[in-house]
Chain A
Amino acid sequence: MNVSTQTWIVVADDPAVSGLVTTARGLGGAVSAVVVGRKSVADSVARAGVDEVLWLGEPGDGAPVEAYAGEVARVLAEAGAAPLAVVGATTPAGRALLGAVAARFQVPVLAGLRGATLEGDAVVVERSVLGGIAERRVQVVGGPSVLAVAAGGVTDEGTAAAVREVPAQPLGAARVTDVRVKEQTGVDLGAARAVVAVGRGLKAQADLDLITDLAAAAGAELACSRPLAEGVDWVAKERYIGISGQHIAPELYVAVGISGQLQHMVGVRDAKVVVAINSDKAAPVFAQCDYGIVGDLYEVVPALAAALRAGS
């Protein structure tokens, strides 16, 4: 299959596309967008630095964005020569669009992106694989490079590309019947200088007070491991760190009662200083920290909060 120099971004009703546009722009050619969802999203994407927007129309009758995934793939396939690359978001809906595109062209989806560049007329992708334990430089020959990247934010480049409506027929398999808007916590762990995270070493939800007190003493935001945010919801989902959660790079990260599984630790790989508090001296977290205290968090955490306050 011959590929063109055209790169597409595929957008699932989410105006946060700066990550997609940056990756697509890095490949040099023209960048078009296919947008599923509201017109307001299509208009916002048109101002995010793309050359053209194809909008699949106002979603009718409660069809979820994923019901348009096959139509997104069809639009790309019918647009002429096969694209050089197709870039989408690693969000749940983004992955559904990318899955349909990958199936249409029968090519892999490349996630864990650390960079994508054009070398000659081929896209060379640097990615981390297997939960971050290894890195690979790879290339897809004979089809588009389908790339899954972090969505990024909303940007306005000042000028708006044309928005063209393309008729599309969603699958009728599901209808949204209710959306309960969640309380917006508005946390931005990425901006925090220090983060105190807690894991399953915590015995009861009420004991979170101990951890929030330590966070307050350290001037830190509260975070957690995945089991404390999912299954039980002791801590908001936006606050869990790791491969499927937040990736952060604070000056100080304190892991309390967290064993240090790689799926968690990959999220703080770029933290400046990592501290671990754990009662098990064999916990893997001690091999991945700068400072560790082997002890019971119920004793160490209050003592640490007191020591921080005493010195300040």
Chain B
Amino acid sequence: MKIVVAYKWAPNPQDAEVAPDGSVDWSRAKGAVSEYDPVAFEAARQLADATGGEVVGLTVGAASVDSPLARKAALSRGLDRLVVVADDRLADADGTRLAAVLAAAVRSIGDVDLVLAGDSSVDVAEGQVPMTLAGQLGWLGMAAVSGVTPSADGVVVERDLPGGITTLALTGPAVLAVTTDAVVPRVPGMKDILGAAKKPVEVVPLDALEVPDVVAATTLSGSRPETGNRRGVIIDGADASSAAAELVAALRTARAL
């Protein structure tokens, strides 16, 4: 089985600075493998090991997604090889364009049986790209996947849905977005990190892919939401009882109780 893990190298918006006009300064935020993507790497590795398959990492984005650090971070998490499309023309690409580029890359990798992705990315956090990628490929796309295990003729998929825990027999190609219920990702050890340097990386130029034109949204204006107007009264809890009494009194005065 050939499994592609579509992952994102992204900064945490927690560390971004937002100007009053809503523009975002990422210069103090460091990129990392997006928080939930290691679950997808691990699930893919376990599935490939059980079926004798291959795990190919795939990321697309601005030139910065292909730093030596970014390569090592991905390759130390159980991949066999990496395919990267890194181009500054993708710096502000929205999800549909990223999905179009990912789909073109999946086609160029060829003979892919399954694409796994994390539940949602740390920066955008909308969980949309894997489902749009499925749309671009014309494949089945399923989110909220809480388990993937091999079976005799394919893969058993478990999903935690509002209607119940749903089990599916998967036989065709699909894009699955996995939640942290699926597996516990490995913490890369020294051996994984050293091994990462030896694994092949293929850099695919954006122009080498057949990507359809995607309409981008036009931004008319931006703003920074009103937050942080909280009182910020901090009480020392060394003496728990008196701190509790002080808090209860304050909450009564504020009519919060």
Write out the residue numbers on chain B whose beta carbons fall within 8 Å of the beta carbon of A137: 219-222
Whether a CB of chain A sits under 8 angstroms from the CB of B234 is yes
Knowing A108-B217, A128-B225, A174-B168, the reply to whether A103 touches B132 (Cβ < 8 A) is yes
Contact call B13/A177, Cβ cutoff below 8 A: no
Contact call A106/B235, Cβ cutoff below 8 A: no
A288-302 CB contact bits vs B (8 Å, 1 = yes)? Answer: 111111111001101
> Which of A91, A92, A141: most chain B CB closer than 10 A?
A92
Q: Give the size category of B's interface with A.
A: 35 or more
Contact call B234/A290, Cβ cutoff below 8 A: no
CB distance from B134 to the nearest CB of A (A): 6
With A and B bound together, what is the CA distance between A206 and B5 in angstroms? Answer: 37
Whether a CB of chain B sits under 8 angstroms from the CB of A101 is yes
Whether a CB of chain B sits under 8 angstroms from the CB of A303 is yes
Instruction: Pick the contact of A112: B14, B126, B228 (CB < 8 A).
Output: B126
Instruction: Pick the contact of A130: B124, B130, B168, B254 (CB < 8 A).
Output: B124
Contact call A272/B256, Cβ cutoff below 8 A: yes
Write out the residue numbers on chain B whose beta carbons fall within 8 Å of the beta carbon of A132: 225
With A and B bound together, what is the CA distance between A303 and B241 in angstroms? Answer: 5
Contact call A131/B125, Cβ cutoff below 8 A: yes
Instruction: Pick the contact of B251: A172, A269, A273 (CB < 8 A).
Output: A273
Contact call A106/B214, Cβ cutoff below 8 A: yes
Contact call B172/A182, Cβ cutoff below 8 A: no
Write out the residue numbers on chain A whose beta carbons fall within 8 Å of the beta carbon of B177: 92
Contact call B161/A67, Cβ cutoff below 8 A: no
A228-244 CB contact bits vs B (8 Å, 1 = yes)? Answer: 00110100010000011
Knowing A138-B217, A307-B245, the reply to whether A252 touches B119 (Cβ < 8 A) is no
The main secondary structure of chain A at its interface with chain B is: mixed
CB distance from B238 to the nearest CB of A (A): 7
> Which of A66, A107, A194, A284: most chain B CB closer than 10 A?
A66
Contact call A291/B180, Cβ cutoff below 8 A: no
> Which of B217, B220, B235: most chain A CB closer than 10 A?
B217
Contact call B172/A99, Cβ cutoff below 8 A: no
* Residues in chain A within 8 A of chain B (CB atoms): 62, 64, 66-67, 69-70, 73, 90-93, 95-96, 98-112, 124-125, 128-143, 148, 171-182, 194, 218, 227, 230-231, 233, 237, 243-244, 251-252, 261-263, 269, 272-275, 277, 281, 284, 286-296, 299-300, 302-304, 306-308, 311
Interface pairs A-B: 4 shortest CB-CB: A295-B237, A173-B172, A103-B135, A99-B131
For this complex, 13 residue pairs linking A to B, each with C-beta atoms less than 8 Å apart, are A70-B138, A99-B132, A99-B134, A106-B213, A107-B214, A108-B217, A109-B96, A130-B125, A173-B170, A274-B230, A292-B234, A304-B244, A307-B248
Beyond the given A108-B97, A173-B174, please list 17 additional residue pairs across the A-B interface where CB-CB is below 8 A: A73-B135, A92-B144, A96-B131, A98-B132, A134-B222, A135-B223, A173-B140, A173-B170, A174-B172, A176-B166, A182-B164, A244-B120, A269-B225, A291-B231, A292-B232, A307-B244, A308-B248
